[in-house]
Amino acid sequence: METASTHRLILASASPRRKELLASLGVTFDIIPADVVEHEAPDADPREMVKHNAALKADWVSARHPDATVIGADTTVFIDRTVLNKPRDAAEARAMLRMLSGRTHTVFTGLAIRRQRDGLKLDQGVASEVTMKAYDEATIELYLRRVHTLDKAGGYAIQESGELIVAGFTGSLTNIVGLPVEEMKQLLTRAGLTR
């Protein structure tokens, strides 16, 4: 017998950006952040790292809510064979922004959907490229005053005062923000939750 919990969708993330992007698909969901330690080594393979972390989050929440369909996601920035996760402090955010200035980097997101009830496991990786303007220290300081960067991979958010630092991008904009909406919709369709 199908109940409301059979169709329950959970986002295993506290990210306000992911919440907003998932809501844009018109689905109803709960938020239960996963209590896990993410793998974040600067020399990690970014594709594998985000897939691993997304699966870690989805598996943790799914184990506690076996009837629900759970979404895990993880995003990182990659340049010079180095993974740029969330900066620890303003000094690290400044260093990241200096590193990105005038150059192109890749934003990787891993998506994982888990449902214990029927053993559903879907995983996908998405990549986009962002080219930054060549900006000076004054622009970095202005950006840091305007945007809270400590909860953002690479120390920036394309959707917040992006005109100061971003020249352009290729690929999915929503991926750069933190949840690739088109790919997410396809996975939810495969999971039987959207048409």
Catalogue the active-site residues.
74
Say what the pLDDT of residue 73 is.
97
Those residues whose C-beta lies under 8 Å from the C-beta of residue 72, and which sit 6 or more positions away, are 12, 13, 34, 53, 54, 55, 56, 57, 58, 59, 61, 110, 111, 112, 113, 114
C-alpha angle 36/40/45, rounded to 5°?
A: 125
pTM (whole model) above 0.75: yes
Say what the pLDDT of residue 67 is.
95
Q: Tell me which architecture the domain covering 4-190 has in CATH.
A: Alpha-Beta Complex (3.90)
Q: Which residues pair with 79 in a beta bridge?
A: 82
Residue 20 neighbours by CB distance under 10 Å: 14
What distance in Å separates the CA atoms of residue 30 and residue 10, rounded to the nearest whole number? Answer: 5
Say what the pLDDT of residue 134 is.
98
Domain boundaries, the chain: 4-190
Say what the pLDDT of residue 50 is.
97
Point out the residues of the chain with pLDDT beneath 70: 1-6, 195
